[in-house]
Structure 1
Amino acid sequence: MTPAEPSDDRLPETTRRILPWLVAVAFFMEALDTTILNTGVPTIAKSLDVTALSMKAVLSSYTLSLAVFIPISGWMADRFGTRRVFAGAIALFTLGSLLCGLSTNIHMLVACRILQGMGGAMMTPVGRLVMVRTFAKSDLVRAMSFVAVPALIAPMLGPLVGGLIVDYLHWRVIFFVNIPVGILGFLLVWFNMPDYHEKAARPLDVLGLILFSSGVALLSYVLEIFGEHRLGTGDILGLLAISLLLIVGYGLHAARTAFPLLNLTLFRIRTFAISVSGSFVTRLGIGGAPFLLPLLYQVGLGLTPVQSGLLIMPQALASMSTKFLLPRVLERFGYRNVLICNTLALGGMLMLFGTISRATPIWLIIVQALCYGVLTSLQFTSMNTLAYADVPRDQSSGASTITSTSQQLSVSFGVAAAGLTTVFFLPTEATAAPALIIDGLHKAFFVLGGFTILSALVFSRLKKSDGADEAGEKDLHIEEAKS
């Protein structure tokens, strides 16, 4: 790998300091957009004269766009440079936000959400790639823990911010808030981000792109419509079979081509394989929490959207307050112990959410939210940094692409699992009975907590020495002295 800029150990100190902020702001803008939109769905549907169910296409089109375009992010970064691609991603996302806010019908809104997804698909993997190539492995935990905070904060602030915008402003502001942030982010990235690229970038795997993206997009679509009875069981199973055949076809193709779209040989690296697979299983459980908690608070406990958002906010505050402690925790206990114990604690905490009722004191709900925020912050940072523990630097773009694709799929699967689990435990007649709704939601939390606990089995395959470079005591102390 030959960077266009000086090698990362010669980058200006100003660039090192501002880079995590640049990536964090872009991640926050992208993550906040979706969570705010969820709150405004009924109002937008009424304004565009469509049913609320029709708005599902607005939400799923963004997810499908991410699934299709994330796999080429690594190739784009290697071919055109990280600075150009990341700045272009912000510009495309901002343009899509503007057009979404100007949309006059649902078809235009869906098309603009796809445009947003194209930009968002490049932000996360390319941003993570720049971080990996800029910071030494011993400093990566500290940098990534800072960058991971927006992804934790946005789902917590989204419902509250979305409720305030819909109640006091106009639903179009949901999209317009991205414009000033996007313009500022584009300028800062263009003048401050290092520009890593390869002089001889590998050729684009067009057939692999068609097979994998089609399979993933179709699988995501099946998950979106599953349980809605819009298609018969036979149709859904047929689409599911086709999507799996396309994905398996990509796997066979990737094994035979010199430059596959996703370098599956990276899974031969034990720590990478464990991190990606463990992260996937973990998110099957905790990925549904942002979907279930508003239902529990608003439908089950009868709170307003703003009150519900205020109860979720302590999770974000706890995540922020612990980001500086994470390197010390990993240094003291190691990745294996942290991930096993923290995963078990996360599963238990999800189950505790399944005990909240109208009789539960507000202060106890807040305490649970604070604890959950600490645990999720530690979990995400540990999983994200462990993935690169033994990955060669010249393969970091491929690792970033696989990690981002896996995370996007696991989030979609997690929300789908939460929705399906809730529907399973909520009979039709329960829609008018709050007590039965609460009982169904409680059972859903217990099931998702069980999913999360299962991922501890994956992390148990780690060795005590795994990830030692990321949490090296000497380098951490040097970094503390610099700051």
Structure 2
Amino acid sequence: MPLALGAFIVPLIVACALFMENVDATVLVTSLPELARDLGQDPITLKLAVTSYVVGLGVFIPICGWVADRFGSRTVFRAAIGVFIAGSLLCAASTSLFTFVLARFVQGVGGAMMVPVGRIIIFRSVARADFVRAVNYLTVPSLLGPVVGPLLGGFITTYLHWRLMFFINVPIGILGIWLTNRHIENTRMPHPGKLDWMGFVLSGGGAALFMLAMSLLGSDIMAMRDNLIMLGAGIVLLLAYWFYARRASNPVLDLSFLRVPTFHTAVIGGSLFRVGLGAIPFLLPLALQEGLGMTPFEAGTITCASAFGALFMKMVAQPVLRRFGFGTVLMVNAILSGVAIAIYGVFHPGMSRLAIWFTVLFGGVFPSLQFTALNALAYADIESADVGRATSLASVIQQMSLGLGVVVAGIVLQVSHYVQGHPQIVWTDFWPAFLVLGLCSAASVPVTARMPRGAGGELARGR
């Protein structure tokens, strides 16, 4: 396959999977309040539907690199799409909170292999000089998900039934499997070694227990004592893995990659940024519906505005990075993104819908630039042979931070609601959560400031 064609076709094929995942996520969060009422739950409790997906990711992402190297990236990518479709159909058939959370976990298992393995496919198919361009090809189609998802999810929930929205993934997934069979080679490493089962149990078990315990804090689903025990067990397992990985010869999550400055900045600093941004798809539709009294469709027409802002920034990301460099862009842009998130807290009943729409549009510009820079910078100094293991580590930390953002938003919202003493959630309960999330995104600046000057310059210049 010619280089230019490979840099175009392969990212777009992987984008089918990202588009399916993004549509599913944005359709779901737009419909959460109505879905919660149908299942007899409080809307905030439905953050479990988001975090259970992240638990599936956290458990199985650590082995995605090894599995892709062992069985071939095309085989694993294709199977992952099938698992994701199966989880979607289970979501549509769910009749209780337990079955819905379980179905979302199944989706997470598919997503754990689908997106990280897709990144491996791109890295091994595209020349380093074309990598930033390939990331843009990849992210532009995937950004259509946040445009289509809120509108489609809001329309289906308002005028039809929320169960129908999970059938959207079926034709998209089938198309992705067909394109994968035609255009993606089944690359694999010749000798991936043995799977680190001990590391898999420690990291996967610790991540699952930690995220579940955090998402259950403040709910009446589990007693506080049991909740704290689960949280403590998760922390202990994660600490045990940290000590274990320092001595293991081939750990399932190789923490030594964090010593690479560009990778450390993109993953650790980027994850602090993602804590703030990860909660917005959950919190903003909830604020518009529960706080401002909008229908799901009305909320969807507003939340999709951020995707238009993101699409605009994708067109100018390369020139901005070339002009200012990764370090400057990541630090200044993180502060601007934090401000954009915190501004959402000023939304109130009676505020012009047009003003809200343009504020959300503005809020999508800066995160888009940040994600493009972070996704490219992570692999600036990673060798091709190490990309599978590096992707596993980066994906786990990134996805856990996105899920943690939802948890943080839910906890702050619950505390704000309790302190203000309202019988139902009202619009004034939301501003503290948006403020905290904005501060989380800005907290990535000190990490980025430690990156060596000029790091990632070759990628920024497109060479």
- TM-score, normalized by length of structure 1? 0.88
1:163 maps to 2:145? no
2:441 is the alignment partner of 1:452: yes
Q: CA offsets, 1:407-450, max 9 Å, x none?
A: 1100111011111111222237643577xx33331222222211
What CA distance in whole angstroms lies between the structure 2 residues aligned with 1:371 and 1:108? Answer: 38
Matched, 1:412 2:403: yes
Match of 1:195 among 159, 172, 186: 186
Q: 1:342 to 1:93 in 2, by over 3 A?
A: same
Aligned with 1:469: secondary structure? helix
Deviation of the 1:59 alpha carbon: 4.7
Contact 1:15 1:193 in 2 (8 A): no
The CA deviation at 1:365 is: 2.2
**Could you say which residue in structure 2 is the equivalent of 1:98?**
89
Residue aligning to 1:380: 371
Matches within 5 A, 1:14-413: 14-41=5-32, 50-52=39-41, 59-102=50-93, 109-149=100-140, 152-155=143-146, 157-413=148-404
SS at structure 2 position matched to 1:431: coil
CA separation of 1:173 and 1:402: change in aligned 2, threshold 3 A? same
1:108-160 alpha-carbon deviations (Å, 9 max, x no partner):
55544333222111111111111122223332112112323455553454333
Counterpart of 1:464? 453
> Do the aligned partners of 2:306 and 2:364 also contact (CA within 8 Å) in 1?
yes
With over 3 angstroms needed to count, the CA separation of the structure-2 counterparts of 1:170 and 1:368, relative to structure 1, is closer
Residues 224-245 of structure 1: CA deviation (Å, up to 9, x unaligned): 1011143344332222211111
Residues of 2 paired with 1:132 and 1:197: CA distance? Answer: 13
One-letter code of the match for 1:445?
A: F
Tell me by how many angstroms 1:173 deviates: 1.9
Structure 1 partner of 2:422: 431
Aligned counterparts of 1:416 and 1:143: Cα–Cα separation in 2: 32
Q: Would you say how many aligned residue pairs link Structure 1 and Structure 2?
A: 461
Structure 1 residues 195 and 250: alpha-carbon distance in aligned structure 2, compared to 1, 3 A threshold: same
Cα distance, 1:163 vs structure 2: 2.1
Alpha-carbon distance between aligned partners in 2 of 1:241 and 1:285, rounded to the nearest angstrom: 24
Other structure's SS at 2:315 match: coil
**SS of corresponding position for 2:456:** coil
Whether the 8 Å contact between 1:152 and 1:377 is mirrored in structure 2 is: no
Bigger Rg, structure 1 or 2: 1
Q: How far apart, CA to CA, are the structure 2 residues paired with 1:42 and 1:352?
A: 23
Amino acid paired to 1:134: S
Q: Residues 429, 368 of structure 1: CA spacing in aligned structure 2 closer, same or farther, 3 A cutoff? A: closer
Question: What is residue 432 of structure 2 aligned with on the other side?
Answer: 443
- Hey, what's the Cα distance between the residues in 2 that align with 1:277 and 1:164? 38
Offset at residue 400 of structure 1 (A): 0.9
| Counterparts in 2 of 1:332 and 1:65: CA distance versus 1, 3 Å | same
Show structure 1 runs of 5+ residues with no match. Answer: 1-9, 476-483
Q: 1:151 to 1:421 in 2, by over 3 A?
A: farther
Does the CA-based 8 Å contact 2:147-2:308 persist in structure 1?
no
Aligned AA (1:400): T
Structure 1 Cα separation of the partners of residues 47 and 328 of structure 2: 41
CA offsets, 1:381-411, max 9 Å, x none? 1111111111112111111111111111001
Letter paired with 2:257: L
Q: Deviations over 1:280-301 (max 9, x none)?
A: 1111222222222223322332
Q: String of CA shifts for 1:208-233, please: whole Å, max 9, x gaps.
A: 11111000000110121011143344
Backbone CA RMSD of aligned residues: 2.4
Give yes or no for contact 1:142–1:324 (8 Å, CA) kept in 2. Answer: no
Question: Any conservation in 2 of the 1:84–1:195 contact (CA below 8 Å)?
Answer: yes
Q: Is the 8 A contact 1:100 1:113 kept in 2?
A: yes
Change in CA separation of 1:187 and 1:12 when aligned onto 2, cut-off 3 Å? farther
Is the Cα contact below 8 Å between 2:31 and 2:296 reproduced in 1? no
Q: Deviations over 1:179-205 (max 9, x none)?
A: 111111101011101322111112100
Whole-angstrom CA distance in 2 between matches of 1:281 and 1:107: 30
**Aligned counterparts of 1:103 and 1:417: Cα–Cα separation in 2:** 26
* Shift, 1:58, TM fit: 5.0
User: Tell me, what secondary structure is at the counterpart of 2:458?
Assistant: coil
Q: State the AA in 1 paired with 2:405.
A: G
User: Any unmatched runs of 5+ in structure 2?
Assistant: none
Range that drifts further, 462-471 or 80-89: 462-471
CA distance in 1, matches of 2:364, 2:297: 19
CA contact (8 A) 1:223 1:412 kept: no
Normalized against structure 2, the TM-score is what? 0.92
Once the 2 structures are TM-superposed, how far is the Cα of residue 103 of structure 1 from its aligned partner? Answer: 5.2
Distance in 1 separating the partners of 2:36 and 2:439: 36
> Given that residues 30 and 285 in structure 2 are in contact (C-alpha distance below 8 angstroms), is that contact kept between their aligned partners in structure 1?
no
Partner in structure 2 of residue 4 of structure 1: none
